[in-house]
Structures are given as structure tokens and as C-alpha cells.
Amino acid sequence: MSERTNYVPGTPCWVDLATPDIEAAERFYGELFGWEIPELPDSAEMGGYRRAKLDGRDVAGVMPLMQEGQPPAWSTYVSVDDAEAIGRAVQENGGTMIAEPMEVSNYGRLALFTDPEGAFFGIWEPADFAGAELVNEPGAFSWNELGTRDPSAAKAFYAAIFGWGFRDNDMGEMGTYIEWLNGEDSIGGMLDIRGRLPDEIPAHWLVYFVVEDTDATIETVKSASGNVPFGPVDIPAGRFAVAADPWGAAFAVIQLSEETVTKAP
């Protein structure tokens, strides 16, 4: 099992969901991934924030919508060792600070941003909490993918912020898929969404969750009033689809290929 107690800075370490109905979301994602999303002793003082658990391990966060007009959405957080330095770098390279670095109890420090194209992401400077305790297993996240209409600008921005490199992969008729590299480790991806998604869908980070059977999972999404805008299709990493929960929060599910499982850290 891919258990984690720490993350190398520059690695996506946590994902969370903003939703208008936590109890209903627990039923939806519980049926989908086997999660429990209990109210925690400090949930009230943290604005209703909860941690989704799989077999007792923290795998994702769930919180209520914090302001009027906020869309339900999944968000990606990258582990860092200096939140202030990253915040300065974001702003110096054309990004926008949404929430400046703040203490989150004794867990760590959080800051929120958008990149120059408007894709929302967060950073996490850990103290007592490193991030997800389980990854790359059914019911846990395994991949974080930027959808952008300006890949060249995104490469420059995230290289300046996190020191990421990249690797271009020729996918034939599907075009070029870009892997983000943190040192030698492949830690995420990027897709040029021009011509792939409607113009009204902004740049965004998409979270992939591992499942044992993509087709069966998609049927569960549909039966639970979710939506499936794309897939399932086969790609080198496995069989995947993009889904949305009943409130419109988009995410991907993937049944990893044997080769991908073998290579997973």
C-alpha cells in the first residue's frame, strides 16, 4: 500500500472538496470510494472542515462552501517548506494570492492562489500533518493534472514557483501530454484544453482517484445522480473517465494499468 508520512517539497500532498452538502457528499463519495467523513473534534473551529478517511487513513478534505457564489470544486495542494517564499514567487511571476499564508492549528500553514491563467491551487507547509496518508490505491488520489490553454506560460510559471521540470509525451492522435517533474519524480500532468473543452470552462487542476473498476465506478456515479462528461477510455496509464458529483465538482477516476502500478512510488 502507498502509505505516506511525508512529502518531498514540490509534490502534491493533499486534495479537498468544497461542497454545499457535506452529509450528502459523504453518502456519494462513501458509495464511490468507501470513504467515511466524520465530524472531527476541531471541525467546528475550522469552519466545518472534515477529513475523509479510508480504512482509518486520511485521504482527502471536505468542507462547506465558504462564500456566496463559490462553486463546488476539488482543489490540489502542493507541499512546500516555506509558504512565504512561495507566496512571493507566485506574485512575482504573475499569479494571484487568494489567501495569504495562515496557521491551521498545529497542522501546518496554508496559502491559496491562482496561476496567471486563473487555475486555483493551494500550498501546504506541514507541521504535524503532512497530507494524505494513502495515495495510489483504490479510493485515494494518485494524480493531479493542470488543464490550461497556455502550456508554455504554465511551464514557465510552475518552474519558477516549485522548480518543476517537464517531459513532453507524444500521444499520437491525442496530441502531446506533459508530465511535471519534481527532480526525477513524475508528480503530475498538464493537458492543453484548447479545442477539448468549452471556452467557458476555465483553467483548472483536476484530481484523479484510483478505482478498481472504472466502468463499474462510472455506473455508480450515474446511479447516484452524478454526471460523466468524458469516458471511460483507455490511456497508457490505465482506463479513466472524468466525472462530476451531483453538485458539479469535477474529478477523474482511473483503473491503473499493471505497468503503472508497478512504477508507482
CA angle 227/232/235 to nearest 5° reads 140
Q: How far apart are CA 64 and CA 101, in angstroms?
A: 20
Strands 57-64 and 12-19: parallel
> Is residue 36's pLDDT more than 90?
yes
Tell which wins on pLDDT, 240 or 176. 240
Query: Is 192 in contact with 148 (CB distance < 8 Å)?
Result: yes
> Is residue 1's pLDDT more than 90?
no
For the chain, how many residues are written? 265
Which cell numbers hold the place of 244? 462530476
Maximum alpha-carbon separation in the chain: 51
Which cell numbers hold the place of 179? 508530465
Give the type of residue at 76.
Answer: T
Spatial strand order in the sheet of 108-114 = 50-54, 57-64, 12-19, 73-79, 120-126, 108-114, 96-104
> Is residue 262's pLDDT more than 80?
no
pLDDT band at 263 (very low <50, low <70, confident <90, very high): low
* pLDDT (average), residues 1-8: 89
Query: Is 2 in contact with 135 (CB distance < 8 Å)?
Result: yes
Q: Where along the chain do its domains lie?
A: 12-126, 141-263
The sign of the torsion formed by the CA atoms of 205, 209, 215, 220 equals: negative
* pLDDT (average), residues 152-173: 92
Tell which wins on pLDDT, 89 or 198. 89
Phi, psi for residue 31 in degrees, rounded to 5: -70, -35
Q: Which residues of 105-120 are buried (b: 16+ CB within 10 A; e: fewer)?
A: eeebbbbbbbbbbebb
Query: Is 40 in contact with 164 (CB distance < 8 Å)?
Result: no
Superfamily of domain 141-263: 2,3-Dihydroxybiphenyl 1,2-Dioxygenase, domain 1 (3.10.180.10)
pLDDT band at 265 (very low <50, low <70, confident <90, very high): low
Which cell numbers hold the place of 73? 470544486
Question: Which tens digits make up the pLDDT trace of 178-213?
Answer: 999 999 999 999 999 998 899 999 999 999 999 999
CA distances from 101 to 31, 51, 95, 98, 108 (A): 35, 21, 15, 10, 10
Query: 12-126, which class in CATH?
Result: alpha beta
Neighbours of 232 (CB within 10 A): 20
Question: Concatenated DSSP letters for 97-134?
Answer: EEEEEEEETTTEEEEEEE-TT--EEEEEEESS--S-SB
Give the type of residue at 7.
Answer: Y
Q: Do domains 12-126 and 141-263 have the same CATH topology?
A: yes
Query: Is 108 in contact with 127 (CB distance < 8 Å)?
Result: yes
Tell which residue, 147, 243, 156, has the closest CA to residue 202: 147
